Amino acid sequence: MILKKNGYFQNENTPDFVFVIGGDGTFIYAVHKYLDHLDRARFFGIHTGTLGFYTDYRDRDYEEFIDTFLRGEVREYTYPILEGRTENGVYYGINEIRIENAARTQNMDVYINGRLFETYRGTGMCVSTQLGSTAYNRSLGGAVIEEGLNLIEMCEMAGIHHNKYRSLKAPFVMNDTNRITFVSESFAGALLGADNEVFPMDDVHRLEIRVSPEKRVRMIKGRDISYFDRLKSLF
């Protein structure tokens, strides 16, 4: 209502601003909904619980948030998105892109920038963005990456390590200019996870992940909340 009174109108298909009310999960869902419209859409997150990594306001601060927005006292920040390519298509991850095989042990060769890095055996692999480092990546024992660092992180999921099969085992934090490729004779039973979405990999042999050169998430913020305060409030 307040926004309408101030000349804004609702446009579900091609919005300039997307107000997301929920949690970090809801925020990610909203970004996926407007993946083809990211050059225009700017996202504003309002959390219904605590503070989130994608949300700066709680629902009880709604009026303050609207006032700040209408006064134009907001700043825009952009964040990278991961792009994953297989023979079947292109997938995007704001938090992470992962391969998970709960059905059988997954073998795969891991290439970094086209060079063989290791052969991995285990349940799967997760490649996360800086923003996603506090999500699935953290549950896998990955490092939390401070906001502002242009990094991505690769984490094993229950890797098998003995004298026949060796892989890094530790989370690998690397520059976000790197390209990671997973290749296997068979990904039968595996799922490709891109944030909240999953896709079967049965007829796929290769997944290449890099930071998308085209797509970025544009977030608007009205408050300066330090990354450390955010971390402290959540964990």
Chain contacts with ligand NAP (rule: CB under 6 A): 23-25, 28, 52-53, 95-96, 131-132, 134-136, 139, 195-196
**Best CA proximity match to 92, nearest among 203, 196, 179:** 196
Residue 34 DSSP SS3: coil
Q: In whole angstroms, how close is the CB of 226 to ligand NAP at the nearest point?
A: 16
Q: In whole angstroms, how close is the CB of 6 to ligand NAP at the nearest point?
A: 29
**Nearest to ligand NAP of 2, 90 (CB atom):** 90
Q: In whole angstroms, how close is the CB of 89 to ligand NAP at the nearest point?
A: 19
Q: Does an H or E element contain 206, and which? A: strand 206-221
**Nearest to ligand NAP of 68, 95 (CB atom):** 95
Alpha helix locations (H) across 6-103? 24-33, 62-70
Q: In whole angstroms, how close is the CB of 32 to ligand NAP at the nearest point?
A: 10
Question: CA distances (Å), 67 to each of 64, 111, 118, 195, in order?
Answer: 5, 49, 53, 32
Counting every residue, how long is the chain?
235
Amino acid identity of 153?
E
> Where does residue 85 rank: exposed (0-12), middle (13-18), buried (19+ CB within 10 A)?
middle
Q: In whole angstroms, how close is the CB of 95 to ligand NAP at the nearest point?
A: 4
* Catalytic-residue membership of 24: yes
Using alpha carbons only, how large is the chain's radius of gyration in Å?
19
Q: Which of 16, 24, 56, 203 is catalytic?
A: 24
**Nearest to ligand NAP of 59, 73 (CB atom):** 59
d(CA 99, CA 235): 26
**Nearest to ligand NAP of 6, 139 (CB atom):** 139
d(CA 8, CA 156): 46
Amino acid identity of 229?
D
Hey, which residues are catalytic here?
24
